Amino acid sequence: MRILKLALIAGIAAVAALPAAAQYKEEYKISTVVPAPFPWGIAAEKWAELVAERTDGRINMKVYPGASLVSGDQTKEFTAMRRGIIDMAVGSTINWSPQIQELNIFALPFLMPDYKAIDALTQGPVGKRIFEIIEQNGVVPLAWGENGFREVSNSKHPIRTPDDLKGLKIRVVGSPLFNDTFTALGANPTQMSWADAKPALTTGAVDGQENPLSVFTVAKVYEVGQKYLTLWHYVADPLIFAVNQDVWNSFSPEDQEIVRQAALEAGALCIEIARKGLIGDDKSAIRDVEALGVEVVELTPEQHQEFVDATRGVYETWKAKIGAELVDMAEQSIANR
């Protein structure tokens, strides 16, 4: 009898919880670091637009760029999403790596030689494993996007060898892996958020920075004395579309499917525009940067190898920290790409 009563109470509680679960918020906040017209911001807008269309406005998502939901501190974005301060994000693996150690894999120096290698990771077993890890950390990942290969710029002189980096103050963000890489190359790395980066470049507090070409041009980084840009492809920065666990659970299965599908489509668009003018026969993005008065250095295979050799120790140290098994899997996916 007692058990029956308890079961009845539990049943009533479950039913009572149902209407609450079906009630959607007036607005779901999506965090990003940069807005449209950066590919990153365009992709977040697209995600919101597709979801609004396909849910007849039931799910209203709004983009909050500048990591404004975490007062500009982009490395706190993941924690804020996990805790529900942020509903959703299109976030960089760099900015989430302080919480998810495995995301440092994309910042292992010279792991990914080309775009096919990025795809081999994000679309292969490594990407799948990373999504499982993110899910275990209380956030629901849905799709991959792309910020891009990160190229180094500075205001002093062309960088062709590790020696050219010696003594340069370079702005970085994310995990200590970036400090280790630039220290190994003889530079002086300094951690700061994107919000602080351009002012620091303007005043000369730092000599250089590293970011994808799209960020370099859209943010007009060339206007603050960054006259030398080296295309060294040392790390790439995929983006992840993700949703807070409770928010996700509050959506009906049909709406979950719409949100996921829209993220996949917005992610594909993001990757396409992030690579525009950088792949195949169309290298117009590089020519456009040169036309702005920037001296672009493309490394010879020998010069490239010098950077690889100089950072090999960092690679090995961080391979162990990230997990040798996952990095082995990545190396294999890249070898078979």
**Which residue, 33 or 177, has its beta carbon nearer to ligand X2X?**
33
User: Which span sits near ligand X2X by CB under 6 A: 76-84, 89-97, 198-206, 247-255?
Assistant: 89-97
Among the listed residues 55, 74, 79, 154, the single contact to ligand X2X using CB under 6 A:
74
Count interface residues toward ligand X2X (CB under 6 A): 12
The answer to whether the CB of 224 falls within 8 A of the CB of 201 is yes
Compute the least distance from the CB of residue 67 to ligand X2X, in Å: 8
**Which residue, 92 or 104, has its beta carbon nearer to ligand X2X?**
92
Compute the least distance from the CB of residue 107 to ligand X2X, in Å: 10
- Residue 112 DSSP one-character state: -
Q: Is 173 in the site for ligand X2X (CB under 6 A)?
A: yes
User: Which span sits near ligand X2X by CB under 6 A: 90-98, 108-116, 241-249, 318-326?
Assistant: 90-98
Distance CA 67, CA 174 (A): 14
What are the phi and psi torsion angles at 203 (to 5°)? -80, -10
**Which positions from 205 through 264 interact with ligand X2X, judged by CB under 6 A?**
211, 215, 237
Distance CA 23, CA 316 (A): 49
**Which residue, 175 or 333, has its beta carbon nearer to ligand X2X?**
175
Q: Is 32 in the site for ligand X2X (CB under 6 A)?
A: no
**Which residue, 267 or 333, has its beta carbon nearer to ligand X2X?**
267
Q: Which helix (H) or strand (E) holds 31?
A: strand 28-31
Question: In DSSP terms, which residues pair with 229 in a beta bridge?
Answer: 153, 296
Question: In DSSP terms, which residues pair with 243 in a beta bridge?
Answer: 88, 140
**Which residue, 173 or 334, has its beta carbon nearer to ligand X2X?**
173
Q: Is 33 in the site for ligand X2X (CB under 6 A)?
A: yes
**Helix-, strand-, coil-residue percentages of the chain, each rounded to 5:** 55, 20, 25
CA torsion sign for 111, 124, 44, 83 is: negative
Q: Is 194 in the site for ligand X2X (CB under 6 A)?
A: yes
Beta strands per DSSP E along the chain? 28-31, 61-64, 88-92, 139-154, 169-172, 188-191, 208-211, 228-244, 295-298
- Residue 221 DSSP one-character state: G
Distance CA 84, CA 69 (A): 11
Taking residue 139's Cβ as centre, other Cβ atoms within 10 Å add up to: 26
Q: Is 86 in the site for ligand X2X (CB under 6 A)?
A: no
**Which residue, 51 or 173, has its beta carbon nearer to ligand X2X?**
173
Binding site for ligand X2X (CB under 6 A): 33-34, 74, 92, 94-95, 147, 173, 194, 211, 215, 237
